[in-house]
Amino acid sequence: MVGDPESGIGARSAAAKLNEALTSLRNLAGVAEGERYFRYYGWARDSAFKLDGVITRTEIDRLIFTPAYYALLSSGSPDWGPTAGTVEMVMRRAETELRATIESLQSTSQRWTAPGRLIVADTNVYLHGPGLGEFSAKTLIGEDVPARLLVPMIVIDELDALKNRGEKDRRQAARQALKMIEQALDESPAMSGELTVRPGRSRLAIEVVPDPPGRLRLPVADDEIVDRAAYFERLAGRKVVISTLDTGMTMRCRNLRIESRTPEVTAKTSV
């Protein structure tokens, strides 16, 4: 589970702060059971205060102020048997979530802080932009630099839908784009790999970024793509550039102060 740092924090710094909270939680293991009930709530209060401004409020609720936290809070005295017996279980669950989030943030930081650019390509770029064998930072954003192409899951879903409807050329382009992405990932559990680029061009890594469990997408696909790009910026702690052929997408980027570029090949139509 990848966390959600506040703007400008980045995955590495967020992981370090979360690790401090995890260490404090583990230190409660040696506390007497009756006292542990109160110390756990003290830990939750202090951790939420320290993490405010580091991760989003939604993440604080997911990791600290969980349903189990409120269930314990409403159960009354720590001397009541069921409550005393569940404190350790709640702490273990919190420890598991914190550890998984830290590991995910650290892994993401290692991949996304490498030199080069972070790029998100709008769905129409896969259909009408550079040829599938021509994808590179040069053709997508006009810079011949190493880059990582981040593919939000909404783009995969749009391509999946388009491969079975509309004009023949569009269906074929969607199928070819999906095939290109699948071949680049090569069954990687991290859903990342590297695209084959023209000799002499800088390398282009690719990564499909799944939606977090339970995420509710925005109703308009372009809004969702821009929203995910903004999330990637928070996670990476640096700028992401969107490659798009649509004026509407460009305006959305401008509204959220996300950089956008037009790929080398001009579209005839758009999604």
pTM: 0.80
Confidence band, pLDDT 50/70/90 cuts, at residue 110: confident
Task: Return the bridge partners of 149, or none.
Answer: 119, 206
Q: Which of 179, 161, 188 shows the shortest CA–CA distance to 271?
A: 161
d(CA 55, CA 75): 28
Strands 240-243 and 259-261: parallel
Q: Residue 206: is its pLDDT beyond 70? A: yes
Mean pLDDT score, 110-119: 88
Considering the chain, what is the average pLDDT of its residues?
A: 86
Among 32-36, 43-47, 265-269, the minimum mean pLDDT is found in: 265-269
SS (H, E, C) the chain: CCCCECCCCCHHHHHHHHHHHHHHHHHHHHCCHHHHHHHHHHHHHHHHHHHECCECHHHHHHHCCCHHHHHHHCCCCCCCHHHHHHHHHHHHHHHHHHHHHHHHHHHHHHHHCCCCEEEEECHHHHHHCCCHHHCCHHHHHCCCCCEEEEEEHHHHHHHHHHCCCCCHHHHHHHHHHHHHHHHHHCCCCCCEEEECCCCCCCCEEEEEECCCCCCCCCCCHHHHHHHHHHHHHHHHCCCEEEECCCHHHHHHHHHCCCEEECCCCCCCCCC
Residue 152 and residue 120 in contact, taking contact as beta carbons nearer than 8 Å: yes
Residue 132 burial by Cβ neighbours in a 10 Å radius (0-12, 13-18, 19+): middle
Mean pLDDT score, 192-219: 81
d(CA 43, CA 64): 9
Confidence band, pLDDT 50/70/90 cuts, at residue 117: very high
- What percent of the chain stands above pLDDT 90? 51
